[in-house]
Structure 1
Amino acid sequence: MTSARSSQGQGPLYRLYIGRLRRQLAPATVPGHVAMMIDGNRRWARQLGYRTAAEGHRAGAAKMREFLGWCDDVGVKVVSLYLLSLDNLRKREPQELSDLIEIIAELADSLSRVGDWRVQHVGRREALPDELARVLADAQERTKDHRGLHVNLAVGYGGRGEIVDAVRSIIQQHDERGGTLEELAASLTPEQIGEHLYTGGQPDPDLVIRTSGEQRLSDFLLWQSAHSEFYFVEALGPDLREVDFLRAIRDYADRDRRFGG
């Protein structure tokens, strides 16, 4: 696990450094699937004196659009963004939650209109307000045939709940085939559970990035990240820079992945 501290700077020297970092990346060493936990939006808004957390969430959403472009530019194939957890739905103040839902809906709709990107909702649709669920479903349907960057939007998501839903799906499928519990117990495998996750059919994340210096998973992709690499950035979500991202990719490329060994 590695931490990186963000510093400001967007001048000519910064751009030269960005170019140097890009040249150091070999396509074969770029992670295929990057998961991003954007954190610190509320702290960012408080530090800048904004009256509500909504300004931080809007800035965070704008940063995620940039982030996806960075990923696409270096050849990442799949990106998973953690936008709204099941815990958030239960614990956030009503006004903040209402603002956040509106911002996520706007983000999902805009991403579904970017080039050939494919948008997929991962999470419990029934836990979401009807309008947000509709926007996510429309974005997914609109882009279902796209072959570009695959963007998972984790909204109304919880890792433990996802595993429970996967097991329920396996049991239901097995029951519909007329199988016994003994047969199910004997045949159940990790691969089978993986196929029934919200991300079934996708590669597991190679790299998980979290902003704001926090070093915890927060119920995100618990099953899929069993062998992922982690990279923690000190910058608050809206302050994330391309150089922070490229350093994370470079750091990942330099690691000797052991996959549990």
Structure 2
Amino acid sequence: MTNLTAGPVPQHVAIIMDGNGRWAKARGLPRTMGHRKGVEAVRETVRTAASAGIQYLTLYAFSSENWRRPESEVTDLMGLLKMFIRRDLAELHKENVRIRIIGDKVQLRSDLLPLLLEAEETTRGNTGITLVIAFNYGSRDEITRAVQRLASDVANGLLAPHQITAEHLSATLDTQGIPDPDLVIRTSGEERLSNFLLWQSAYSELMFLPDFWPDFSRETFLKALESYACRDRRFGGVDETTRAVGSV
């Protein structure tokens, strides 16, 4: 375990890994070099999260909108994902990491899906940190698919409309069985969620960092966790120990 500032460690951290292209551009390098450097940051982040006692780490690897990028860049990203799985799967498995994939798998290319399913199946019995990879993922699409499944249950007489609850919807999302993120981090200075875990992040702490993703180091991550430990999470309620007279 690492030495963290006294306070709670988040059970689940989700990260929007942003800024690979701008990192490369600032150095006069092709965007592909930024993505390659970003893979190194992924490896370091997984190790840091595990050593800090985080139980779930979700990484926004490829959004359903990223297919709109230039074909050469998409091809390189797909190649990096394949390389990451082939090179790192054995080590992750050895380190007791469990891998979960969220996103629309139906629309995935045939050469990618078997690799992703293999990563999930190989590590299914592991009991260490769960690494959730959001690939071909978009939160609006995820919620739409969940609503369609619930509507199908209603149409087939398995569920009445008035019986549908927030818990029903949560259990139908890609993240079924995964706790909502305590902390959502976005790198590169952008301050938006960009269609990432919109339902699940209703009460998450948000943190927007100026660092481009390839510069996201162990030290940066630990400072973010220290900052999180100082926050007061009330989930819509109040902390009676600090509530001032007349406050709301």
TM-score, structure 1 length as denominator? 0.85
Instruction: Indicate the residue corresponding to 2:217 in structure 1.
Output: 241
Q: State the shift of 1:61 in Å.
A: 1.3
Instruction: Indicate the residue corresponding to 2:53 in structure 1.
Output: 75
Instruction: Indicate the residue corresponding to 1:129 in structure 2.
Output: 109
Q: State the shift of 1:210 in Å.
A: 0.8
Root-mean-square deviation (CA, aligned residues, Å) is 1.6
Matches within 5 A, 1:108-147: 108-113=85-90, 114=92, 115-147=95-127
Q: Cα gap change, 1:194/1:66 in structure 2, threshold over 3 Å: closer, same or farther?
A: same
The percent identity for this pair of structures is 38
1:103 is the counterpart of 2:83: no
Q: State the shift of 1:174 in Å.
A: 4.1
1:84 is the counterpart of 2:62: yes
Q: CA–CA distance in 2 between the matches of 1:38 and 1:130?
A: 25
Q: CA–CA distance in 2 between the matches of 1:100 and 1:142?
A: 23
Alpha-carbon contact 1:213-1:235 (below 8 Å) kept: yes
Could you say what secondary structure the match of 1:247 adopts? helix
Instruction: Indicate the residue corresponding to 1:11 in structure 2.
Output: none
1:45 is the counterpart of 2:24: yes
Instruction: Indicate the residue corresponding to 2:243 in structure 1.
Output: none
Q: CA–CA distance in 2 between the matches of 1:225 and 1:149?
A: 20
Q: State the shift of 1:132 in Å.
A: 1.5
Alpha-carbon contact 2:154-2:161 (below 8 Å) kept: no
**Structure showing the higher helix proportion among its residues:** 1
1:189 is the counterpart of 2:165: yes
Alpha-carbon contact 2:4-2:222 (below 8 Å) kept: no
Q: What does the per-residue CA deviation read over 1:66-119, in whole Å, with 9 as the maximum and x for residues that have no partner?
A: 101000011000000001001101x10000000011112222344432121011
Q: Cα gap change, 1:184/1:105 in structure 2, threshold over 3 Å: closer, same or farther?
A: farther
Q: What does the per-residue CA deviation read over 1:169-204, in whole Å, with 9 as the maximum and x for residues that have no partner?
A: 22334444x34xxx6220111111000110111110
The residue type paired with residue 227 of structure 1 is Y
Instruction: Indicate the residue corresponding to 1:3 in structure 2.
Output: none
Alpha-carbon contact 1:109-1:139 (below 8 Å) kept: no
The residue type paired with residue 103 of structure 2 is G
Q: State the shift of 1:241 in Å.
A: 1.8
Q: Cα gap change, 1:119/1:109 in structure 2, threshold over 3 Å: closer, same or farther?
A: farther
The residue type paired with residue 190 of structure 2 is E
1:168 is the counterpart of 2:144: no
Instruction: Indicate the residue corresponding to 2:193 in structure 1.
Output: 217
Q: CA–CA distance in 1 between the matches of 2:144 and 2:236?
A: 24
Instruction: Indicate the residue corresponding to 1:58 in structure 2.
Output: 36
Q: CA–CA distance in 2 between the matches of 1:218 and 1:189?
A: 26
Could you say what secondary structure the match of 1:124 adopts? coil
Alpha-carbon contact 2:104-2:136 (below 8 Å) kept: yes
Alpha-carbon contact 1:112-1:119 (below 8 Å) kept: no
Q: CA–CA distance in 1 between the matches of 2:35 and 2:45?
A: 15
What runs of 5+ residues in structure 1 fail to find an aligned partner?
A: 1-18
What runs of 5+ residues in structure 2 fail to find an aligned partner?
A: 238-248
Instruction: Indicate the residue corresponding to 2:3 in structure 1.
Output: 23
Number of residues of Structure 1 aligned to a counterpart in Structure 2? 234
Q: CA–CA distance in 2 between the matches of 1:111 and 1:166?
A: 31
The residue type paired with residue 14 of structure 2 is A
Alpha-carbon contact 1:111-1:117 (below 8 Å) kept: no
Alpha-carbon contact 2:44-2:217 (below 8 Å) kept: no
The residue type paired with residue 164 of structure 2 is L
Equivalent residue for 2:128, pick from 141, 148, 151: 148
Q: What does the per-residue CA deviation read over 1:8-31, in whole Å, with 9 as the maximum and x for residues that have no partner?
A: xxxxxxxxxxx9xx43434x6000
Q: What does the per-residue CA deviation read over 1:197-256, in whole Å, with 9 as the maximum and x for residues that have no partner?
A: 101111100000111111100000000000000111111110112221111101111111
Q: CA–CA distance in 1 between the matches of 2:178 and 2:120?
A: 16
Could you say what secondary structure the match of 2:202 adopts? helix
Alpha-carbon contact 1:111-1:119 (below 8 Å) kept: no
Q: CA–CA distance in 1 between the matches of 2:223 and 2:195?
A: 25
Equivalent residue for 2:208, pick from 232, 238, 242: 232
